[in-house]
Structures are given as C-alpha cells and as structure tokens.
Chain A
C-alpha cells in the first residue's frame, strides 16, 4: 500500500465522506492541506474572508443539505475566529466538522507562535473534539467526527491536527464502521411510551403540537403533517421549527414565544396537552417557567435524553429520532376532531390578529419582508440576521417549501445573515436565496460579499435598514426609559459598497418602488444588495416582556406597556 501524507489523508477522508465543499482559510498550520488540495479536484474550496464566516456558511450549508458542513482554519487566530460559528452550530444542533491546524506537535503547550488551545476552548461548544497526536489516527478521527456530528442529536465536532502530522506519511486506511461504546444514541421510541403518548393524545381536548428544529433536522415534515391531520391538532412551530410544517396548512399556527403569535401564547396557557416534538423549551418560547402551560400535560419527543424534563417536566418522555418516533406513533393515533378547541383559538386570533400591517404610505420593514415572500415564489430559500428583522421574517414566513428558513436561534448571532445566505446558495446554486439583513448585522460580516462575485453566487441581500440596532433600541425604549444609547451608528453607503464588491446595489426608500425592485432583483442573474430604508422607530409585536409569562404577551401596544425587570 502506498503511503500518503497527513494532509492527503484528511482530504481522502473527506472524499470518503462525500464532502463536496469546504469553507476555509489558510495559514501556517494548515498549509500542507492547501498544498494537497489540487490533487482533490472534486472537493471545492470556498475561500472566505474571515473564519467566522467559514463556520456560518458551513452551518447553513448543513441545514439545507442535511449533510455535515465542513470548515477549516489555521491554528491560533484562525481557530479562535471559528469559535462564534462553532457556538452557533452547537446551540442549534447543526452537524459541523471543523478541522484546525495546530502548531507542530513538539511545540504544543509551549506557547509557540499562533498556538491556541482550541480543543480546550471549544469543549463547552462542541459535541466532541480531539487533538490528534499520531498520523495514523487522522483517518479514524475524521470518520468518528462525521459519525458523531451527523447522528443522534447533531452538533459540531472539532479535530485539531498539528502541522507536522499533516506532513508525516502513513498508509491510508479508512474505518468501515464506527462503533463507540460511549455513544449509542437511541433512535427508536420505546413502544410502551409511544402507547402512553397515543393514550394521552386520544384523551386530550385542547392539545397542541410544538414542533422544533428536531422536525427539520430529522426531515420529518411529512410525518408531522400526518400526525397533525389525523388528530386535527394545531401545530405551533418554534423559530427553528419554521418550515417543518407547511405555512399554508389550516393547522399551521405560526411561532410562539417572545415575538410569537398572540393566539399561540394564549393557547399554550389554556392547553391540556402539549406534544413537544424535537424542541427544547427555550426560555424565549416558555417565558417564566413557573407560569408556563399550567394546565398541560407534556409529551416530549427528543433524541437527546438530557433535554427531557430539563426545563418543563414531561409526563411522557419519548427518546428517539423524531422521524422514527412519529412513524411509530401514527398507526396508534385515533382520528379526531377538535372543532371547539380550534374555534377557541380562531376567536382569539380574530380579536388579536398579531401580524397586521398598518395602512401607511411610509416604508415599514414588515411590508418589505412580506413583499419579498410574496414575490419570490414557493421555492426560495431565506437566511436572516438577528434582531427585529429576524422576528418579522419569522412572523411573516408562511411558506410551504420545507426546511427553507435558515436562522440563528439559540445563539442569536448577528452577522449570520451574510455567510449563511452564501452557504445556502453554495448548496442550492440554481435557487433563489434571500438574505434578510439587519443594517447592524450586515456590517459584521459584509466582507463576504466579495464571495458572491468570486464564486458567482447570486444571493439577494435585503438590508432592512432602520438605521438602528433596532431590537436593542426597542428594549431601550420599552425598558430603559427611552435611553437610546449606542444604537445608531455611522453607515457606509451600502450601494457603493456593493458596487465595490462587484455586486449591483440599489437603494429604496419609496414604498411604491418596493415590488418592482424585488422583481428586478429576482430577474437579475447576479447578486444584489438592496438597501431598504425603512422607518427607523418601528417596534416588533406581539411581545412577551422579558421575565414575564406567556399570559402577559402584548399583542399590539394599545395600552401603556408595563415595565418589567429583566
């Protein structure tokens, strides 16, 4: 058997894993990898402008394809620049394989040039990480990384490989099968528990389904739809559950929680059964836990046993892969009608419509977002930043195209919008990809615009430009006596900036031009940056005040807003 060097072992391993794209950035500690890249023409390398973006783009790529995203960086600053992106993938359970070059092995622990203890740093934000110390261990470490990242509850895995190991040679031997005694995720639901769940569902009069990212990750939209239709149970999708259930479906209720639909928050407080599917009762969903869903029993389906009864006690926990568990559950469900309960919700909804766009000639952000959805056709993809525009994008998303809404949920990472949209476009080169950008978030990662020109990625960037760090400004107005401190900043000319990157830029401040500009952007073969100059002071509602309970949700601020301590 011929021997190849460690760098080639890495690339050969990636090829075995079916990796087509790597987002990365070079440096001293991963130069052997770059040296070997030419020999592997089927692995496409996308050179980002900042390693954070490599992780975000790989993260979005993974969400869209369902495969692990791959990114790599050099040691020291390259590795630490990945950290935010890794944390983002960790919080949202996204399969990511990160390969960092480390300083040569004899300098480990001696503060060599560009040494950072990246395995130490990333312990709390990786599903697994490992510092490889023998060239023979590279292939098994990579095989394990893909296995661990993509199975069970997915998550990021980091492999740190000293540069000298990338240059040493060894025979390439790739493990056929990975078996880890300490890692055996339960994928099938326990039949007894499934039976109990079916029983509770049959008895419930006011049941709700809370569908989370697990439905999307497990690609279980079809199964979820079957469950909902058979039992006539309304489906609430969390921020990351959006797209796991068709938007136009009569049982789709939209998002719950801090900026969720008013009717959902009220329904949760009134429900007698919550069927939580692949969701983890995040505080943005539950509000104050002590007041959460006081009348409801909980059936909790999740692949991660550590999520069971972590925040909300489950009467019937079912550990398993959401898709499998729902398939097991469906035959046990009795067809039902929940007419009275659905009418109750519809009544709340009629009185509190939550997302009505005010009649105005002014250019308001909700209008822009809604128009983009309307005009982009059923198969477009969407990435968002974090803040008001993200919440509006989530509120107004009622699309049917599954898994098409890519957003940073758990970590709430501003700057995600630009590299994430790029990752989506790389995964879906022929589809329309929109990036809903905050003017603040956009400025965190806008250097990546250059990639759209370099790699011909026709992303449509819609900057929802309220000239504010809008969500922070909203909190300052509501809870800090209107003290708008450090939320307005000098803005570059986004149109010129786009042009300097080889991208078409347009500015829109007139409502009448919104639709035609969106149409033109959709027709345009290349990337476009549209600077939508929206109203600056527009608050995002409904809103459950921080620290309050779902019952305290304010649909629209007709009354004086109460002050709540954080």
Chain B
C-alpha cells in the first residue's frame, strides 16, 4: 500500500490529559507522529493541533475517526488533499568564524532567513518556510558545522475564506466546565 505524509488539523479542548489521549490512539495502531504542533487557536479554551503522519490513506482515515471519538477533540480534519498553505519554523545554531561569517550571511539572505543572534563563534539563524526550504538551508549550512537545530514541525491552513476546522463557540470562547482551563491541582485544605 502506498503511503504519504498526511496533514491533520484538530481543535481540542485545552485541558490536562488531552494530548495523552490523542497520542495513545496513534501509538495503539503503531503510527509514528512525524511532527506535532500545539498552540492556542482563535477560540479561547480550544487549542489547535497540527500533526503530520506517514501512512496509507485508509489507515490514516481509521485513526482520524478514532481520534474524533475522543470527547475533547471538538473537530478534526485531514487536509492533505486540500489547497492549503503550510509552514514550519526552524532555529539553526551554526558555527561561524570571522572568515566564513559573510558566506553564511549570503546563504541566509538567499533563503530570506534571519540572523537573530551572533556570538563569537556561532550564529543563530531563523528560517520560515516549507519543509523543503528548511531542509535546503540546513543542508547548505551543514558544512559550517551545525551546533543545534530545532524545527517546529508543520502548521497549516486551508486557503480562502473557509475555516480549516471550525468549532462551535460562544462569544469566541469554548468552556465545558466552569473552571475549565484552570486544570491545576489546588492545595488542599482538608487532610
């Protein structure tokens, strides 16, 4: 069966344990999550997750359906086949000496990346783009010596005015419990 990288976007309640429940479904079926990003969405109380997972369409569809069964997953959608924009951000700490610094700056300029920190023997490069673009700049910088590399993984959004995934909201917020989102254990008053 042919596999490909799928991009799946989910709106989930911002509560403890949700990521664990989602990861558990992928794990049970033996999938390896290639990338995962989570952050606040346009709706207070809901986080937006973007996964990339490699697999056959049928298998991915099965897991997606299983994920939708998680109560805290409010909406989920596989946008692989849709017209979407996708980006990731990377920070690259590269060795840089007086001699080669300008060569590195040239590469950074070509990729329209930014240098966000300079040290005596290193620089930190920030780049945003598709995975291919990030791969390319990483490959270009590698000969200078990569000290550190961090990539966010893909975030994606469907083009046009339609929402990628939409969730019902009340005044732009989503709350299930009165104290939802507090999620922290309080120090008890009774022993």
Contact = CB atoms under 8 A, between A and B. Distances in A.
B111 interface: no
Interface in B156-191: 167-168, 174, 176-179, 182-191
Interface stretch (A127-135, A234-242, A243-251, A455-463): A127-135
Interface in A385-428: none
A128 B73 CA distance: 11
B100 interface: no
Interface stretch (B63-71, B85-93, B118-126): B63-71
B2 interface: no
A183 B71 contact: yes
Contacts of A131: 16-17
B73 A306 contact: no
Nearest to B25: A124
Interface in A113-167: 119-120, 123-124, 127-131, 133-134, 136-137, 140-141, 144, 148, 162, 164, 167
A310 B62 CA distance: 7
Given A133-B183, A136-B178, A136-B179, A181 B188 contact: no
A133 B17 contact: no
Nearest to A166: B190
Interface string B4-17: 00000000110011
A124 B188 contact: no
Interface in B42-93: 58, 62, 65-66, 68-75
A306 B74 contact: no
A104 interface: yes
Interface residues of A, number: 34
A181 B167 contact: yes
Contacts of B24: 123-124
A133 B186 contact: yes
A120 B16 CA distance: 11
Contacts of B167: 181
B186 A134 contact: yes
A181 to B, nearest CB: 5
A119 to B, nearest CB: 6
A564 interface: no
B21 interface: yes
Given A137-B177, A168-B189, A182 B28 contact: no
Given A181-B74, A182-B73, A306-B69, A104 B178 contact: no
Contacts of B21: 123
Nearest to A135: B186
10 contacts: A106-B188, A119-B17, A131-B17, A134-B177, A141-B177, A148-B71, A168-B190, A180-B176, A182-B74, A304-B69
Contacts of B189: 164, 168
A140 B20 contact: no
Contacts of B72: 182
Contacts of A66: none
Q: Please give me the 8 A-B residue pairs with the lowest Cβ-Cβ distance, nearest first.
A: A164-B188, A306-B65, A182-B74, A105-B185, A167-B190, A128-B71, A123-B24, A134-B179
Nearest to B72: A182
A181 B168 contact: yes
Nearest to B180: A137
B179 A124 contact: no
A305 interface: yes
A140 B58 CA distance: 37
A108 interface: yes
Contacts of B174: 181
A144 B184 CA distance: 20
Interface residues of B, number: 37
A182 B17 contact: no
A128 B72 CA distance: 9
A240 B176 CA distance: 35
Given A123-B21, A130-B17, 11 more contacts: A105-B188, A106-B188, A133-B183, A136-B179, A167-B190, A168-B188, A168-B189, A180-B71, A180-B176, A182-B75, A304-B69
Nearest to B185: A105
Interface of A: 104-106, 108, 119-120, 123-124, 127-131, 133-134, 136-137, 140-141, 144, 148, 162, 164, 167-168, 180-183, 304-306, 309-310
Contacts of A181: 74, 167-168, 174
Interface of B: 12-13, 16-17, 20-21, 24, 28, 58, 62, 65-66, 68-75, 167-168, 174, 176-179, 182-191
A183 B71 CA distance: 6
Given A124-B28, A182-B71, A306-B69, A133 B184 contact: yes
B178 to A, nearest CB: 6
Contacts of B28: 124
A330 B181 CA distance: 47
A136 B177 CA distance: 9
Nearest to B12: A182
A135 to B, nearest CB: 9
B185 A133 contact: yes
Nearest to B186: A105
Contacts of A164: 188-191
B185 A108 contact: yes
B184 A104 contact: no
Given A124-B28, A180-B71, A137 B17 contact: no
A119 B21 CA distance: 10
Contacts of A309: 58
A134 B186 CA distance: 8
B50 to A, nearest CB: 18
Nearest to A309: B58
A61 B130 CA distance: 56
Contacts of B74: 181-182
Contacts of A106: 185, 187-188
Nearest to B65: A306
Contacts of A183: 71
Contacts of A162: 185, 188
B178 A137 contact: yes
Contact of B191 (A104, A108, A134, A141): A104
Contacts of B66: 306
B71 A104 contact: no
A397 B33 CA distance: 47
B179 A123 contact: no
A136 B179 CA distance: 8
A137 to B, nearest CB: 5
Contacts of B177: 134, 137, 140-141
A403 to B, nearest CB: 25
A123 B20 contact: yes
Nearest to A169: B190
Contacts of A119: 17
Contacts of A105: 185-188
Contacts of A144: 71
Nearest to B23: A123
Contacts of B16: 131, 133
Nearest to A120: B20
